[in-house]
Structure 1
């Protein structure tokens, strides 16, 4: 007797396994440092906007996201036709691949990078082409260019790179974008862009300038990280109008809730206060990474709201040490651990664990 068929593409997609919530037995506050969440809650004005929107949840959201698109268009100085929103930037990526890739097409990206990339690629039946990071956990842009073939449809550049932290220098990104064939889409995933602090003297065009200059560049952004709206799920693409239209066509109708739209618009209006909080996270990042390095651990340069601990074969052992101290971190077995910058007390506890745990085993 037969049974319903499931697409073969799903064979390469792992089941989601939620991490264990952090806990302590000594009364101390447990901290979740595994999801790169902003430790600050939304600003009061944002909560007021959400409260107002919540009074109308008997109605469908604005499917056209008119207010959100107008606010984003003003914020980035782009036309509303060049915007496409969805439930987080990862959903925008899924829709983008749905709109551009077919079975047999290839998608090139660095590895290790955002763990959703291989899943999203396989779900549309395309072939992932993973290019190893450099020894300093950065994108190897020359190798990525060499990996492009006539079957390549999309190249993903995650900057800062999740989970390792380094950002692609602006000049290097400019050279890379210029070298990619015009019929290959370059997707610059800037989920952590607000946390980037390039060294003095580092100059070059921002990703949005490449979108303005070329017809094959898309920039992904999110309100989940710097803006502290991870629980509401809203991200967006800035893309040439033809690409943005295709993304909107395949997006789930009414996907971005009115609460999320209202919170995003209010967050853009309160950007000055929000970016002050981002500066505080960056200061904690620098303090924490410096202390971790002083404890003997190697940490790549990070421009995000997390840092990478290349623990290798000891990854699970070290992650368990954090767990015993009430800290949930994100281990990648055999590679390393991604640790979110959280509250100062949480960061102090991270440093204390690593001072007690030998970097050499």
Structure 2
């Protein structure tokens, strides 16, 4: 009945919800800290909350399927035309569009060894071979070598996924290096630049910043993805977008279902774009609290990859990430165990100052109780 390829697909493991912790451990919702899904700990901009409440009566109505106002707002922000923009239910839906639209005959797709899990899920559903680089982190020389090797064995490369910054590790390629790489790849390969965390990376280092307008104007085989789920605080509204040459966008529209985001999501995203001060404040606070995590890690013997996103991935020799994450869950702290990625490590969304102080307390308490950690401070 079902595709045989689905037997090879591992169901994506989303971050655990607050409701699960309430049910299983009887913890009150106001005592639970959720730092497992890279949501914005400061919520949504007050103007966004107000507009959602004001338009709640429109929940029975389909949205404007042309998404005219949002597309024009994004086009203005990124200095492109509206025909260069497509909207999705999160940027991952644009990934799905790409995998459905591409010709995968006698082809493979390339990605880093450890990166956003949905790249592989969508590729396998599309019944296309997945090729991964040897290194966990993005190394463009490995991507180029993998690309050449694929061509030499008679395989086309239908798509290359570049996650910048990379989820779940946090490292980020320089945009100039990526553009140099693009120029080495044939035009029949779609290069997908996933910029879900770009607001954080750009704030930390301008060398990480991408120009969607430049990419779409110069390259007919590149699509840039952005989202409202992270810095804009709209994870629950599910709005993402893609920017590319109009020919790419036109083809993706052929596989897009009508009304693919909600009326309230559309209004929320339009309003969020108008409140850049909120975004800047969130990004600035994230950078400040990131320093606290780095200091804690150094003082307590943790290893970490310097992160350009709104999360940090930690590990330590002798520490079992699964045992730690399960123990923290029972204490009301939700973080992300990376065992499903084959890593003995865990990822923590950078929370508010109060939330982060609680994280540090619990990590020290775990060490005191299990002899896996010691206080080096």
Structure 2 residue aligned with 1:283 = 288
Structure 2 residue aligned with 1:299 = 304
Matches within 5 A, 1:1-361: 5-15=1-11, 19=16, 21-22=20-21, 29-133=31-135, 138-148=137-147, 149-150=150-151, 151-197=156-202, 203=207, 206-208=210-212, 209-311=214-316, 314-333=320-339, 334-335=342-343, 336-356=345-365, 357=367, 358=372
Query: Structure 1 stretch 296-305 or stretch 16-25: which is displaced more?
Result: 16-25
Give CA deviations for 1:158-187 in whole Å, capped at 9, x if unaligned: 011000001112232222222222221111
* Separation in 1, partners of 2:288, 2:120: 33
Residue 16 of structure 1 deviates from its aligned partner by 5.1
User: 2:202 touches 2:209 (CA, 8 Å); kept in 1?
Assistant: no
* Separation in 2, partners of 1:317, 1:14: 22
Gap runs ≥5 in structure 2: none
* Separation in 2, partners of 1:199, 1:70: 28
Gap runs ≥5 in structure 1: none
Query: Structure 1 stretch 86-95 or stretch 304-313: which is displaced more?
Result: 304-313
Query: Structure 1 stretch 257-266 or stretch 146-155: which is displaced more?
Result: 146-155
Give CA deviations for 1:203-255 in whole Å, capped at 9, x if unaligned: 47725233332211110000000000011101000011011111122112101
* Separation in 1, partners of 2:168, 2:162: 13
- What RMSD in Å do the two structures reach over aligned CA positions? 2.3
Residue 9 of structure 1 deviates from its aligned partner by 1.7
* Separation in 2, partners of 1:26, 1:74: 45
* Separation in 2, partners of 1:241, 1:121: 23
Structure number with higher helix proportion: 2
Decide whether aligned partners of structure 1 residues 103 and 347 sit closer, same or farther in structure 2, where only a CA change above 3 A counts.
Answer: farther
Residue 305 of structure 1 deviates from its aligned partner by 0.5
User: 1:321 touches 1:353 (CA, 8 Å); kept in 2?
Assistant: no
Residue 14 of structure 1 deviates from its aligned partner by 2.3
Decide whether aligned partners of structure 1 residues 359 and 177 sit closer, same or farther in structure 2, where only a CA change above 3 A counts.
Answer: farther
Decide whether aligned partners of structure 1 residues 298 and 186 sit closer, same or farther in structure 2, where only a CA change above 3 A counts.
Answer: same
